[in-house]
Structure 1
Amino acid sequence: MIEIKVPASTANLGPGFDTLGAALNLYNSFFLEESGDSLIITGCPKEFSDENNLVIKAMKYTANKYHKLLPAGIKLHIDSQVPLSRGLGSSSTCIVAGVFAAAELLKLPLTREDILIIASEIEGHPDNVAPAILGGIVTATYKDCNIYYDNIPLSKDIKFIALIPEFELSTALSRSVLPHTVERSDGIFNINRVSLLIAALATGKLENLPVACEDRLHQPYRAKLIPDYEPVVKKCWEYNASAVFLSGAGPTILVLVPQENNDFIKSINSYLITLNNKWQSSELYIDFQGTQINRK
């Protein structure tokens, strides 16, 4: 049996639209083994327990790319901690697991860079799959069938608080509200902020984060799809957040706070229970290992 443990990921980090991502210590684990001549999938909703499962699709894509055939029978069990359609990279965990699984079952000598390229081809962009595979905070771009990436060092003075609502928001809907063109001034605004953000994360200059995480390319449009987004963000600032931004396409809101701020969760929880929709808060940290393989 093979266990593939893939971390959740958050993309964008505010202004880094489709360019920045971070792995978080929340995991989906996938257990695979060859079994008879049929496909058996457990641990997921019934509608995902067939060949349309994203893990199986990624496995088939990888096998086809190398002109290989997958075993006739596969048993897959999914132990999921990453909530669906919340902006925490649940689909990316499936894609990454599928590519790793195909490499393991077919004994393909793939490096992590190879797997990153394949996963990016499937996903369409590397901002979630790159940190899920490599760990840490990653900036990455995909060009001419190659991935160009680097890790960004993170100050130990920062921790992440995820505010996760009970309702879902599809990536397709969240992307549909974005404008097809942007003003030059907005492009310059985001380039300026993401440059400052990378420096602030690396140096721990937290006083720059409130400005560094400002964005004009996606959050103002997506915020309208998320009930109570504006008042929740306002409360985060009142409770001394260093930065507040959407996780990926949303609806999860991520908050950066100084390591010594132990009052934020208690304060924000007291507010969240007053809202019509249920929200939960979770203290998370950067996962620096990325995807892990355990061969049993």
Structure 2
Amino acid sequence: MTSFMIRVPASSANIGPGFDSLGLAVNLYLTLEVTKQDKWEFISPSFAPGTPFEEHFIYKIAKQVADQHGKTLSPCLVKETTSVPLARGLGSSAAAIIAGIEIADQLGELKLTSEEKLGYATAIEGHPDNVAPALLGGLIVSTYVDNEVDWLKISDLDLELVAYIPKVELKTEAARNVLPEQYLNHDAALASGISNLTIAALLQGNYGLAGKMMEKDLFHEPYRKSLIPNYDLIKRQAKEHGAYGSVISGAGPTMVSFVPNGKSEHLVQQFKDVLPDYQVIPLKMDADGLKVEQI
């Protein structure tokens, strides 16, 4: 294709106790319009004019994948638009990784399978919890063992989300640094049980129990909550207004509430005055993941 569009959804990972293994694609998007031309050029809201194209993160990913197949990428004009906020815990880097892999696939005519794309993305990201839903859509339960990704997609969820996005950024590295290097055997077993029950409840549509378990995470939220503005306030007031449960999105600082279908707008209205400096928005699950279209 000489001109094509790539669209990749944002994602919310961990979802409480699903640490590094549970992620949900949501309807915020990174979109690229790619057109072949005689030189590389990126038009991007996060990329200063005059910056060498080689420094663009998406180009680096595309070249890395192409190099592994011995391919040279044809130069292109890449126009980027996005509704995915950067460094807010909504998978902006994962979306960019998937977009870069797809550019390599299209320009290099690699004919990569979804499993191969997921393998590349997970190796780059280090874990599949964001890249898997960004690629595949839905709610993805995944694991990365012995350099192999195994996953299960849950695409039938009768619920909506509300995202509370503050103006401040939080780098994943900073959020990782507050986590313990080891967990006591008793704590790890309990945390694992909570995670297992969360997923089982989601599969059965028992969202009340799922929300209750989400809020009992022991893997990361107890250590990160001090980094998250209004953590306790959001959880308390969201529950008062009908949310099943609220969790840190990825590493934060965004939080998300899981709410009954059709109730997200009500919750958004309740928080307009409570969090005037936040972007509080309703979200839905994206069931499709990566989309590529000729334009």
Give the TM interval when normalised to the shorter protein.
over 0.9
| Counterpart check, 1:289 vs 2:291 | no
Q: Which residue does the alignment assign to 1:24? A: 26
Partner of 1:66: 69
- What does 1:268-283 align with in structure 2 at a 5 Å threshold? 268-273=271-276, 278-283=277-282
1:53 aligned partner: 56
Q: Aligned with 2:143: secondary structure?
A: strand
| Partner residue of 1:146 out of 145, 148, 173 | 148
Q: 1:75 aligns with which of 74, 77, 81?
A: 77
Segments of 5+ residues of structure 2 without an aligned counterpart are none
SS at match of 1:290: coil
Question: How big is each residue's C-alpha offset from its partner over 1:252-275, in whole Å with a ceiling of 9 and x where there is no partner?
Answer: 1010111253532221223112xx
Is 1:211 matched with 2:202?
no
Partner of residue 232 from structure 1, selected from 231, 234, 242? 234
SS in 1 for 2:99: helix
One-letter amino acid matched to 2:291? Q
1:19 aligned counterpart, secondary structure? strand
Aligned to 1:188: 189
Q: Distance in 2 between matches of 1:269 and 1:203?
A: 33
State the distance in 1 between where 2:25 and 2:211 align.
21
**1:186 deviation in Å?**
2.0
Is the partner of 1:148 in helix, strand or coil? Answer: strand
- Structure 1 residue 49, shift from structure 2 partner: 6.2
2:109 is matched with 107
Using the TM superposition, give the Cα deviation of residue 223 of structure 1 relative to its aligned residue in structure 2, in angstroms.
1.1
Quick one: which amino acid aligns to residue 31 of structure 2?
S
CA distance in 2, matches of 1:3, 1:49: 22
Select between 128-137 and 180-189 the one with higher mean Cα deviation. 180-189
The worse-fitting range, judged by mean Cα deviation, of 60-69 and 198-207 is 198-207
Q: TM-score, normalised by structure 2?
A: 0.93
Q: Residue 49 and residue 230 in structure 1: after superposition, are their counterparts in 2 closer, same or farther (change >3 A)?
A: farther
For the 8 Å contact 1:247–1:254, the answer to whether it is kept is yes
Q: How far off is 1:98 after superposition?
A: 0.5
The alpha-carbon deviation at position 153 of structure 1 amounts to 4.4
**Shift in Å at residue 145 of structure 1?**
3.3
Whole-angstrom CA distance in 1 between matches of 2:290 and 2:52 = 23
Question: Structure 1 residue 151: deviation in Å?
Answer: 0.8
1:38-89 deviation per Cα after TM superposition (whole angstroms, max 9, x unaligned) = 3211122235763122211110111111121122x22111111100001000
CA RMSD of aligned residues (A): 1.5
Q: CA deviation at 1:212?
A: 1.5
Partners of 1:31 and 1:127 in 2: CA distance = 26
Contact 2:47 2:56 in 1 (8 A): no
Superposition map of 1:5-24 within 5 A: 5-24=7-26
If the length of structure 1 is used for normalisation, what is the TM-score? Answer: 0.93
Q: Deviations over 1:115-145 (max 9, x none)?
A: 1111111111111010010010001122333
Counterpart of 2:267? 264
Deviating above 3 A after TM superposition, structure 1's stretches of 4 or more consecutive aligned residues are 46-49
Q: State the partner residue of 1:132.
A: 134
Match of 1:122 in 2: 124
Structure 1 residue 30 displacement after superposition:
1.0
- Do the aligned residues in 2 keep the contact of 1:42 with 1:49 (CA within 8 Å)? no
Q: What CA distance in whole angstroms lies between the structure 1 residues aligned with 2:18 and 2:229?
A: 23
The answer (yes or no) to whether the contact 1:41–1:49 under 8 Å persists in 2 is no
The CA distance in 2 between the partners of 1:2 and 1:283, in whole Å, is: 29
Unaligned runs of 5+ in 1: none
